[in-house]
Amino acid sequence: MNTTPAELARHVDHTLLSPTATSADVAALAAEAVRLGTYSICVSPAMLPVDAPLGEVKLATVCGFPSGKHTPATKAFEAAESVSRGADEVDMVIDLGLVKAGRLDGTQAEIAAVRAAAPSPTILKVIIESAALTDEEIVAACQAAEAAGADFVKTSTGYHPAGGASVHAVELMAATVGGRLGVKASGGIRDWATAVAMIEAGATRLGLSGTAAVLAGGTSTGY
């Protein structure tokens, strides 16, 4: 893939979800995002609103994070509150147990509840923890997300012991949503080659915490 670091940056949600993050850390994240030209920053709901200048950089947050084991009503309230506090995008974690039990109606319902609480133009991304699912479950979760009105499906929180994004999962997710939804690859993407591989596999957004180091890898390889 022939892309530049500046072009890749426009696909990046520059992320800080550490439990120990401070307002100063978020301000530094915002400044770095503006300098690097990332698409957004992604921070925890408790860090909203963000007072640091963002320019054209969007503001994303998470919902039901990281376990997904929250009730639909709780997730919906959290999403609505985050939007009221300035979030442009919400990345929600599904209840993986519903998928594992084959209760995709429940999966669709919880996503729909968050969608109703955070309607368009808010961007809704659905985190399916692809590393913890079979291929069939990945497909089913993506189908539920699309049916519920989500804008993106997303591989991972980055906190699940099963792992983060994989090229295979991104390819499968992209094939399932067929360009109708975006695909966000997140979790364990720490270098230029991996980031580019995810884009080539069909990712339209990347969740990165070490964005500067990833983009520097592109510069060092001559892009």
Cis upstream peptide for 72 (omega within 30°): no
Residue 216 lies in a domain: yes
Q: What percent of the chain has pLDDT over 90?
A: 96
Give domain status of residue 73, yes or no. yes
Spatial separation of the C-alpha atoms in residues 148 and 118, rounded to whole Å: 12
Does 3 fall in a domain? Answer: no
Q: Structure pTM?
A: 0.96
The domain spanning residue 186 has which CATH number? 3.20.20.70
Average pLDDT over residues 9-30: 98
**In this predicted structure, what is the pLDDT of residue 31?**
98
Neighbours of 143 (CB within 10 A): 16
Catalytic member of 13, 91, 95, 151: 91
Q: For residue 143, is it within any domain?
A: yes
Is the pLDDT assigned to residue 1 strictly greater than 90?
Answer: no
Strands 182-186 and 205-208: parallel
Is 98 domain-assigned? Answer: yes
Average of pLDDT values for 112-130?
Answer: 98
Q: Are 210 and 186 in contact (CB under 8 A)?
A: no
Q: Is 13 a catalytic residue?
A: no
Q: Is 91 a catalytic residue?
A: yes
**Catalytic member of 13, 125, 151, 184:** 184
Whether the per-residue pLDDT at 223 is higher than 70: the answer is no
Domain count, the chain: 1
Q: What is the pLDDT of residues 130-175, one digit of tens each?
A: 999 999 999 999 999 999 999 999 999 999 999 999 999 999 999 9
Place of tokens 């100063």: 24
Indicate if 154 belongs to the active site: yes
Query: For 130-140, what is each residue's pLDDT tens digit?
Result: 999 999 999 99
Domain span at residue 15 reads: 8-220
